[in-house]
Amino acid sequence: MQNEERVFETFLRQYREIFRVLINAAEQITSQYSVSFEQYLLLKQIHEQRNITLSELADSTRTTRSAAARKLRALLLDGFVEQEAKMDDRRVKYLRLTTKGANVEHDIRQAFLQSATTWEEIPSNLSGKDINEFFTQYQQNIAIWDRTRPKFRRPVLRAKKKTAGNH
């Protein structure tokens, strides 16, 4: 049991460190363009999918509609994204990148591609291909684990039955 606990703590420490390094690297790039990494993911998806709606955007980026709307609001205000109502149903709004948004999405994409070339410089005997394969396999293993793990269920609190003597 003690060994399992030590393995678990080591895993958590390594996971947090890898996650922190990757998020910091991503945020360093996107913050130069006054967007968060999460906002960049929205820009990227809007760029790749013409006439996407907010609901479709939330689904494709695996976030809630309200979270996507909050991130999108800033992109709209900063002039990176515009909305256009559907002709036959004005309630449906299509999202499109403005010229400014398309330029920022392109520049950030190029910065990420340039950053990816530095993976070759990681001091180890792993190649960039090995690292990408590791992350792909890790992601697949996490997806399998997530589908098969026992789901946490909140304990149901049962009301105490009243007896004749209790009121």
User: Would you state the pLDDT for residue 160?
Assistant: 57
**2-115 belongs to which CATH class?**
mainly alpha
d(CA 34, CA 9): 36
pTM, to two decimals: 0.66
Q: What is the pLDDT of residue 87?
A: 79
Distance CA 137, CA 102 (A): 32
The length of the chain, given as a count of residues = 167
Q: Where are the beta strands (DSSP E) in 27-114?
A: 81-85, 93-97
Please report, for the chain, the start and end positions of each structural domain, with discontinuous segments joined by +: 2-115
Give mean pLDDT in consecutive 10-residue pieces for the chain, a chain of 167 residues.
Answer: 74 78 85 92 92 89 89 94 82 90 94 76 67 74 67 56 55
- What type of residue sits at position 45? Q
Q: Is 82 helix (H, G, I), strand (E, B) or coil?
A: strand
The residue with tokens 């990420």 is 112
